[in-house]
Amino acid sequence: MTIASHVFLLIFLPLAAFAYYGLFRRPRLKMFFLLFASYAFYALADWKFLPLLLALSFFTFLLARRGWIGAGVALNLGALALFKYLNFGIEGYNAAMTALGLSAAVAKALELGLPLGISFYVFKHIGYLLDVQRGRIPATSDFWAFATFSAYFPQISAGPISGFQETAEQYASLPDRPRHDQIYSGLLYLSMGLTKKVLIADSLGTLLASSTNSVDGFAGAIPAWYIVLAYTMQLYFDFSGYTDMVLGVSMIFGVTLPPNFNSPYLATNPAEFWERWHMSLSNWFNYYLFSPMSRSLLRKWGAQKRDQAQYVANLATMSLVGLWHGAGLSYIFWGLYHGLLLNFNAWWKRRNINIPTWIGRPIFLFSILLGWAFFMSPDSEYLIHLFKQLFGLGGLGDTALMLELAQNFATPALVVALLLTATGLSEASSVFNAGQYRVWYAVLWGVLAALSLFLLGGQIQFLYVQF
The pLDDT assigned to 321 comes to 97
Are 237 and 366 within one domain? yes
In a domain, 299, yes or no: yes
Residue 459 predicted with pLDDT over 60: no
Catalytic residues: 325
Mean of the pLDDT values across residues 208-227? Answer: 75
In a domain, 266, yes or no: yes
Longest dimension (CA), the chain: 71
Are 261 and 134 within one domain? no
Residue 435 predicted with pLDDT over 50: no
Break the chain down into helix, strand, coil percent, rounded to 5: 75, 0, 25
Which domain does 53 fall in, by range? 26-175
Among 175, 201, 232, which residue terminates a domain? 175
Domain count, the chain: 2
Residue 383 predicted with pLDDT over 80: yes
Residue 248 predicted with pLDDT over 50: yes
Residue 434 predicted with pLDDT over 50: no
CA distance 81 to 119: 10
Q: Concatenated DSSP letters for 298-363?
A: HHHH-GGGHHHHHHHHHHHHHHHHHHHH-SSHHHHHHHHHHHHHHHHHHHHHHTT----HHHHHHH
CA distance 443 to 448: 9
Are 205 and 163 within one domain? no
CA distance 142 to 467: 30
Average pLDDT, the chain: 90
In a domain, 16, yes or no: no
The pLDDT assigned to 212 comes to 58
Among 175, 194, 225, which residue terminates a domain? 175
Length of the chain: 467
Name the band, by pLDDT with cuts 50, 70 and 90, for residue 432. Answer: confident
The pLDDT assigned to 44 comes to 94
CA distance 120 to 278: 12
Are 165 and 204 within one domain? no
Residue 347 predicted with pLDDT over 80: yes
Residue 230 predicted with pLDDT over 70: yes
Are 167 and 307 within one domain? no
Are 388 and 428 within one domain? yes
In a domain, 1, yes or no: no
The Cα angle at residue 147 between residues 144 and 150, in degrees rounded to 5: 150
Residue 50 predicted with pLDDT over 90: yes
How many other CB atoms sit within 10 Å of the CB of residue 12?
A: 19
Among 175, 205, 236, which residue terminates a domain? 175
46 and 114 in contact (C-beta within 8 Å)?
no
Name the band, by pLDDT with cuts 50, 70 and 90, for residue 400. Answer: confident
More confident residue, 114 or 282: 282
The pLDDT assigned to 301 comes to 93
More confident residue, 466 or 255: 255
Are 385 and 239 within one domain? yes
Are 237 and 335 within one domain? yes
In a domain, 12, yes or no: no
Are 205 and 295 within one domain? yes
Are 194 and 168 within one domain? no
In a domain, 320, yes or no: yes
280 and 159 in contact (C-beta within 8 Å)?
yes
Sequence letter at residue 408: N
The pLDDT assigned to 403 comes to 76
Residue 8 predicted with pLDDT over 70: yes
In a domain, 256, yes or no: yes
Are 251 and 210 within one domain? yes
Are 129 and 186 within one domain? no
Return the half-sphere exposure (C-beta side, CA atoms, 13 A cut-off) of residue 158.
22
In a domain, 4, yes or no: no
Residue 12 predicted with pLDDT over 50: yes
CA distance 433 to 289: 35
The pLDDT assigned to 211 comes to 63
Mean of the pLDDT values across residues 22-40? Answer: 95
Residue 452 predicted with pLDDT over 50: yes
